[in-house]
Structure 1
Amino acid sequence: MPDLVLADPAVVGVTLEGVLWDMDGTLLDSEKLWDVAMGELATELGGVMTEQMRHAVLGASAPDALARIFAALDLDPTPTAVAGAGDWINARVTELFALGIPWRPGARDALRAVRAVGLRTALVTNTERELAEQALDTLGREHFDVTVCGDEVPSGKPQPDPYLRAAALLGLEPAQCLAIEDSPTGAAAAVAAGCAVLVVPCEVDVPTGPRRVHRTTLEGMGESMLASVWRAAHA
């Protein structure tokens, strides 16, 4: 890491060493594609995807999202039915991703800026590996030292497992890491793991709380902004 002091240890007690990026809704504006697929899945299952249902599954792991959809539609969640719905949604999102995944504002430059500072980085997503690999074709694998997907941990977000695994793979403590998230589910997971969190909401509002700093955009990301966010998260 370059000789940069991103935070005064006397002020916050620990320096920033790693940035842990969420993917859907944070780096990529892919939640809108998931909206399409989820709505179509509800129709396929004989129901309607309401706004309340969509918000309930936003940022959830695949098993949690499917469980909530089946419950909301009052369907019997047999293993065969749930597995079939999971296969259907993965196939549909694969098709939608192949058409092109738009970036969130400022995200592409933010990835480059964090790399330029020299911090260790991870992609931490509830999306399963097969779909995440497709998204990485857009994001660029060179921006991440490690990647952690929802089907590679015991429990996905809002549990802390994905962030704990990412920090461990980077050789860091969670307290040395800044997670960047857009959803209540993701922010809760990062805080539970012991990370500070930069929240940049996309589809829904995210509650304020300890170790959370809110911004409206990733635009302007750089050494100065990282230092400011890090200090604010520890205030």
Structure 2
Amino acid sequence: MKPAAVLMDMDGTLVDTEPYWMATEYAIAERFGATWTEEQAMGLVGNALIESARLVKEGMGLPHEPEEIVEMLLDGVVERVEREVPWRPGARELLTDLFEQGVPCALVTMSYARFVGPILEHLPEGTFKVIVTGDQVRNGKPHPEPYLTAAAALGVAAEDTVAVEDSNTGARSAEAAGCTVLVVENHVPVAPGERRVFRDTLEGMTYADLAALDAGA
């Protein structure tokens, strides 16, 4: 059975922006004379942005509200992505194939709209029929709401879609929504799961490969 739609994570999946987030976190720590570790940075991967901000506040002992920290994080990462978009191997090629095949795609990211914009400028208009960002949902990943929202907006059942993810948090979200989850690990290891299929890279992958995944191959 071919997937009715493909739902794509962004950070770490389509673009390798996790180093941008981490560099920004370290810059914030330096700015306020706080400490920050690689373990703490890795613990934020895949989180809803507001949750990451809460962890930054707690971990660095900052007096700022989480909403203020979100804006600090976005300021740093947007500045970096406007200079260069670090595409993951095979990501743009897969998106091009899906677009040419007429497969509906949704972007499902916990980043906020103002960070997504500069990245979408590098893709053909209409690449994503639906965009779900972290500032549009009440419950971020690992809650299923982001993926359920995307599937509903496309008019398909989540069970009939393939989600592409790189983190445990994202995989849990997509799995809980009922998606088949293609996991391409990046900065953090991802645990096995009932609806998860693992591949080493998106490079060379096409819609036909995703259809095979959906069929249980």
TM-score (norm 2): 0.94
AA at the equivalent of 1:203:
H
Q: Distance in 1 between matches of 2:143 and 2:125?
A: 25
Equivalent residues of 1:181, 1:187 under 8 A apart:
yes
Task: Determine the C-alpha separation between the residues in 2 that align with 1:18 and 1:93.
Answer: 29
Partners of 1:41 and 1:85 within 8 A in 2: no
What's the CA shift for 1:40?
1.0
The answer for the alignment partner of 1:39 in structure 2 is: 26
Give, in whole Å, the separation in 1 of the partners of 2:124 and 2:46: 22
Report the secondary structure of 1:143's partner residue: coil
Instruction: Determine whether 1:61 maps to 2:48.
Output: yes
Give the Cα separation in 2 of the matches to 1:203 and 1:140: 28
Of 110, 119, 123, which residue of structure 2 is paired with 1:126? Answer: 110
Larger CA Rg, structure 1 vs 2: 1
Unaligned runs of 5+ in 1: 1-6, 8-14
TM superposition outliers: structure 1 runs of 4+ over 3 Å: none
Unaligned runs of 5+ in 2: none
Residue 209 of structure 2 corresponds to which residue in structure 1? Answer: 225
Query: What does 1:37-186 correspond to in 2, within 5 Å?
Result: 37-73=24-60, 75=61, 80-186=64-170
Distance 1:90 1:220 in 2: 32
Distance in 1 between residues matched to 2:96 and 2:36, nearest whole Å: 37
Distance 1:139 1:27 in 2: 12
1:60-95: CA deviations, max 9, x gaps? 11111011122223x26x6x4333322222111121
So what's the TM-score if we normalise by structure 1? 0.87
Output the amino acid matched with 1:129: A
Residue type at the aligned position of 1:115:
F
Q: Tell me which residue corresponds to 1:17.
A: 4
Equivalent pair of 1:113/1:221 in contact (CA under 8 Å)? no
